[in-house]
Structure 1
């Protein structure tokens, strides 16, 4: 079974779902400052991971389009 904490084992969709969960928590549940900072830090890392994967996908599509 894939390890969801390992970015190489997590799907793009799983990463995006986790990011959406964090946003919902920060918007709706008003966590403590420390919890909010931890969630924000995780969210930034997840957002960067999603952007990296999208960049990789775009590069692959570009390469396939050239051929």
Structure 2
């Protein structure tokens, strides 16, 4: 008897294997929402669930990178604005 969990259908698809480093914040966030939804629905094999969890972790890190970068830019802009204001 063949074990169906070893079938290619249980493997993550090519888009799921794509690098997250090139994703915009919105793309990463939207895909993360989809991954979480799929995990919450249940019914996935253990292997598929682990792959989804790993992908979700990578997407969450990418979102955090974007947010930290945005915060750094805002902090720099505020610092520049306060420097301009203090010299006037």
TM-score by length of 2: 0.66
TM-score by length of 1: 0.85
Tell me which stretches of 4 or more aligned residues in structure 1 moved more than 4 Å. Answer: none
Distance of 2:77 and 2:40 partners within structure 1? 40
Distance of 2:19 and 2:73 partners within structure 1? 23
Equivalent residues, number: 63
Unaligned runs of 5+ in 1: none
Unaligned runs of 5+ in 2: 1-17, 81-88
CA distances 1:13-49 after superposition (whole Å, capped 9, x unpaired): 1110000000000001421000000000000000011
* RMSD value, Cα: 1.2
Q: Which has the larger radius of gyration?
A: 2
